[in-house]
Every structure is written in C-alpha cells, then in structure tokens.
Amino acid sequence: MALRESGEDYLESIYVLSERQGIVRSIDVAEYLGVTKASVSKAMTTLESNGYVEMGKRDVHLTERGLEVARQMWERHCFFVGLLEDAGVSAEVASQEGCHMEHCLSEESFEKLRAMLGRDGASAPIMTD
C-alpha cells in the first residue's frame, strides 16, 4: 500500500522527535502534529502493518523502510522551507507551506530541482520549531 501524505508526515515527525528526544511516544507525535492521540493510534496501526514503524510497549520507532522515507521527507522539508525563507517568507509560514510541498515531487524530480537551484543537501539541525 502506497504511503499517503499524512503517512509521510507521521514518519517525518517520528524521525524529528527521535533525533530530538530519543524515545518517541504516540502522544509526542500527536502534540507535534497537532492531532489527537486517537488519530496517531490509528495511523500507527496502518504504518506498522505496512512495515514503516514498529510499536513497542511505550514507544514507536521507524523501521529501515520508514527511516528512509522519513529522512527523505525531512530533507525536502528543509529544502522547501529554506527556499521560501530565502524568498522572504516568514519562518512560520514557510514551515507550514513547506510541509505540503514536500509531498508533491518524486525523488527524481526533487533531486533535479535541488541540483538546479544549487542548494546543498544539508538539512537544518533538528531543534524545537
């Protein structure tokens, strides 16, 4: 089953939170994304059954497969947010809108775009945002 935009968002947030705090619980994801814990629970179930995450007793973590997607999403997130900020968009708006742009492109197209725009591949350090 193909990953949807919302699934990618969940994976990305698990990635960011795990870098930030190590162990990630559903409630952390819920707060980060601004959804209810019920929504997270549902999403985790389908992400787990598709092999993107594994749920322990009190944590959730990415599988290899999930990590790959998550890193890619985070990379794109940083790219688009940086691009918009450079264009003069406020950090807050750039972050919101970048969140959507990151799901629009295939990997191939994204790489081509990044190559053309000459922004290097460095992702922003993960911090509270």
Partner DNA sequence: ACGTTTTGTGAAACACGGCTAACTTTTAGG
Partner DNA sequence: CCTAAAAGTTAGCCGTGTTTCACAAAACGT
User: Which parts of this chain interact with a copy of itself (CB under 8 A)?
Assistant: 83-84, 86-89, 93-94, 97, 100-101, 103-106, 108-109, 112-113, 115-117
User: Measuring CA to CA, how many Å separate 121 from each of 30, 47, 75, 110, 115?
Assistant: 29, 27, 8, 11, 9
CB-nearer residue toward DNA: 36 or 90: 36
Q: Give start and end residues of each alpha helix (H) in the chain.
A: 5-21, 26-33, 37-49, 64-86, 91-101, 107-117
Size of the site for DNA (CB under 7 A): 28
Q: Which residues pair with 55 in a beta bridge?
A: 60
Binding at 7: pick from a copy of itself, DNA, none (beta carbon under 5-8 Å per type): DNA
Q: Is 58 in the site for DNA (CB under 7 A)?
A: yes
Residue 13: CB atoms within 10 A of its CB come to 22
Binding at 27: pick from a copy of itself, DNA, none (beta carbon under 5-8 Å per type): DNA
Q: Which of 14, 43, 53, 73 binds DNA (CB under 7 A)?
A: 43
CB-nearer residue toward a copy of itself: 28 or 102: 102
Q: Helix (H, G, I), strand (E, B), or coil: what is residue 54?
A: strand
Helix (H) or strand (E) holding 53: strand 53-55
* Residue ranges in contact with DNA by CB under 7 A: 1, 4-7, 9, 25-28, 30, 34-46, 55, 57-59
